[in-house]
Amino acid sequence: MYDVDFLEELRARLTEWENTTLKERLTKTQENKTEFTSGSGEFVTDRIYTPLHAAGLNYNEDIGLPGQYPFTRGIDPVGYRAFRSPLGFYAGFGSGESANRRYPSTFTQRAQGI
């Protein structure tokens, strides 16, 4: 299904990405969990998927590796595994004024891992 040269190139790029871009990012932060699963917890998700998961696309040109051009996988090689969006803490909480009163305690609790 895939050209042998393509798979070798991808394997080499993936190894380079793991040893450079990803490794550098992981020295600055940690992932939030040791294992990531689907919402139901039924399926373990991999850090990165390969062309076998995206049939019909040119992986190098259309998708690329996280943290590298064309950035379709995000600008951070770790993605959201090391980032907790503050929006999820307070989205939809009443008025702007009541949400602003709530932010300090929410951020403090989140920083403490509550």
Residue 88 sits in the same domain as residue 78: no
CA–CA separation, 90 vs 97, rounded Å? 12
Residue with tokens 């699963």: 37
The SS3 of residue 112 is coil
Q: How many domains does the chain have?
A: 2
The SS3 of residue 65 is coil
Annotate 18-62 with DSSP letters as a single string. Answer: IIIIIHHHHHH---S-SSEE-TTS-SEEPS---GGGSTTS-IIII
* Amino acid letter, 86: P
Q: Residue 51 is part of which domain span?
A: 4-83
Tens-of-pLDDT digits for all 114 residues of the chain? 678 888 889 889 999 999 999 999 999 988 888 889 887 888 898 888 887 677 678 878 888 888 898 887 788 888 777 766 655 555 555 677 777 777 777 777 777 766
Residue 40 sits in the same domain as residue 56: yes
Residue 25 sits in the same domain as residue 57: yes
Residue 25 sits in the same domain as residue 43: yes
